[in-house]
Amino acid sequence: MSEFCRVSLKPLRTKSVSGANSAQLKSFVDGSKASLDLPFSRKDFFENGRKYVEGISISGVQQKLSLIIKEDAFKPTDVGGRYILKPSPEAFPNAAENEHTAMKISNVLGFRTADCALAKFTDGEYAYICKRFDRELNEKNIVIQHHQEDLLQCMNLVSESKYILSYEEAGRTLLEVTRNNLLVASDYVNRIIFAYLIGNDDLHLKNFSVIRFESSKTHYYDKLAPNYDCLFCEEYTGGQGYLALDLLANGEDDSLLINYQYYGYYTGYDFIVFAERLGVVSKIVEAFIKLIGKKIPMIESLIKNSFMPDTMKDNSTELIKNRFRALQILTEHAS
């Protein structure tokens, strides 16, 4: 039995329920008595939940199940689900534990991040469970739904186009739909740096969403939705590429990034160039990289406490160390 909380990855306290500290679990299940120990098996998930199951990413093979808390237990639903359950695909073992760890690191680095935990099937296998952020309970305990679109939808493109544009082109669209909100653009830039840090080379345009709150009086979006779908993807892809998309637009294939061309990998300076093309000042990038440095011990602790296999823990820790060293290069290489 693990000694760490399946919500927060902090050490378990004396009073814990289904492998989670009571306070963190209570918050995650909205004050109900639901347990993270699911009342069905992985086999049941695929056999009996087919009418609820939908295909989603890691290469389109991962599946998810919409859940609702009913009678103090998580149960499948096709209407009004507040939670999403994702088991690890056979092709990507321990993806649930991997994603949970990456999401907790996202929290540590100050990103608004979807609430998540590790549920457990009756056969003992873990599954990633996430609370939907487009549906929230208000002070009267009534579910309200915020309007949300991913960047691909904002650009009127089909799902098959999620890899064809650059982060800069998508960033320009983000500025348009948020009325040139540079705080949102700064958040966007830092999320891409975070993806680079953890080897998330599948951060495509469907993995960024914007939200317009119910109280909004304009047609512009208010901010990026909380971070979601964060994984140490290199564990499965073998490091085929540093990022899912090019940073720069106009078909330049990042050829203007002098450091990237010289070193063969992205440095902090390359992200500064990218950020400035979106109107985000270099100090934003520098401050975020400095924050990463301060949080490295906490990040390493989360990885150590995680439910990932030891080899995956070691690989993730080493990857972050290498990427952080690259991010610390903040000046242009002299030709």
Q: What is the pLDDT of residue 52?
A: 57
| pLDDT tens digits, one per residue of 248-286 | 987 666 878 999 999 999 999 999 999 999 999 999 999
The answer to whether residue 113 scores a pLDDT higher than 90 is yes
Residues 6+ apart with CB under 8 A from 302: 9, 101, 104, 105, 108
Mean pLDDT of the chain: 90
- Overall average pLDDT of the 292-318 stretch: 98
How far, in whole angstroms, is CA 80 from its chain's centroid? 22
* CATH topology classification for 145-327: 1.10.1070
More confident residue, 278 or 133: 278
Q: What is the pLDDT of residue 310?
A: 97
Of 187, 201, 202, 270, which is the active-site residue? 202
The answer to whether residue 59 scores a pLDDT higher than 80 is no
pLDDT band of 28, cuts 50, 70, 90: very high
User: Any alpha helices (H) in 244-329, and if so which ranges?
Assistant: 258-263, 268-277, 282-305, 310-327
Q: What is the pLDDT of residue 58?
A: 39
And the tokens for 320?
A: 């972050």
Residue 237 burial (CB < 10 Å; 0-12/13-18/19+)? middle
| pLDDT tens digits, one per residue of 239-250 | 667 999 999 987
The answer to whether residue 96 scores a pLDDT higher than 50 is yes
Q: What is the pLDDT of residue 57?
A: 40
| pLDDT tens digits, one per residue of 141-152 | 655 677 889 999
Least confident residue range of 22-36, 124-138, 312-326: 124-138
The domain spans of the chain are 16-131, 145-327
pLDDT band of 56, cuts 50, 70, 90: very low
Same fold: 16-131 with 145-327: no
| pLDDT tens digits, one per residue of 149-178 | 999 999 999 988 999 999 999 999 999 999
And the tokens for 56?
A: 């989603």
16-131 is a CATH 3.90.1150.10 domain: no
Q: Is 202 known to be catalytic?
A: yes
